[in-house]
Amino acid sequence: MSEPVETSDRSLLIVDDDAPLRNRLARAMEQRGFTVTTAASVAEGIEASGAMPPAYAVVDLRLEDGTGLEVVEALRASRDDIRIVMVTGYGNIATAVVAIKAGAVDFLAKPADADQITAALLETDRPLPPPPEDPMSADRVRWEHIQRVFEQCNRNVSETARRLKMHRRTLQRILNKHAPRN
């Protein structure tokens, strides 16, 4: 295994299959002093963990070719002092526990901003990051979740309603409304 993370080692691997989000986060983290490498899949993430394992990583839980937990395990095996933050749009307590047991130091729900991610990666004194200044409202979180499931079901209203366990007409009314402001 490798030596402890030096403060001068700011290498960061971002693994997320959402290209616009991955690229925005990469630019934001570079502005915060990290040397960023990106990967779009489990396979690319595992490959990136091989030769020069990074000091830090941000890994999405659900990737198109598998689960980010596979990447976390590969990163942890290649560098035991790595600090990994798992991000997901499907946050729940059970998943957070699994991510922490796999080796992540924190688990953030999307949309997490670069400041939250930086704090989670670098903070070693506090067990939890500070609460957000302006968190999303419950209505906005619900709307975002419904939109994400709708997109994952290829914009099929019936399938989305079935998966969300709601009536199709109720879902159609929700989809026809604009997003809540905050």
Last residue of a domain, one of 122, 146, 162: 122
Q: Tell me the per-residue pLDDT of 3-48, one tens digit each, with 9 for 90 and over.
A: 434 457 889 999 998 888 889 999 999 999 999 999 999 899 888 8
Instruction: Please report whether residue 69 resides in a domain.
Output: yes
Better pLDDT: 23 or 89 = 23
In a domain, 108, yes or no: yes
Q: Domain count for the chain, please give it.
A: 2
Top pLDDT among 34 and 107 is at 34
32 & 85 share domain? yes
- Residue 48 shares a structural domain with residue 81: yes
User: Taking the CA of residue 70 as centre, how many other CA atoms within 13 Å lie in the half-sphere pointing to its CB?
Assistant: 14
pTM: 0.65
Widest distance between CA atoms in the chain: 57
What is the structure's pLDDT at 27?
Answer: 93
pLDDT (0 to 100) of residue 126: 60
Regarding beta strands 83-88 and 56-60, do their DSSP bridges make them parallel or antiparallel, or are they unpaired?
Answer: parallel
CATH code for the domain in which residue 143 is found: 1.10.10
Please indicate, yes or no, whether residues 151 and 79 belong to a single structural domain of this protein.
Answer: no
> Does residue 142 sit in the same domain as residue 118?
no
Whether residue 90 is contained in a domain is answered as: yes
Question: Are 110 and 152 in the same domain?
Answer: no
- The Cα 65–Cα 88 span in angstroms is 15
Task: Domain of residue 25: give its range.
Answer: 11-122
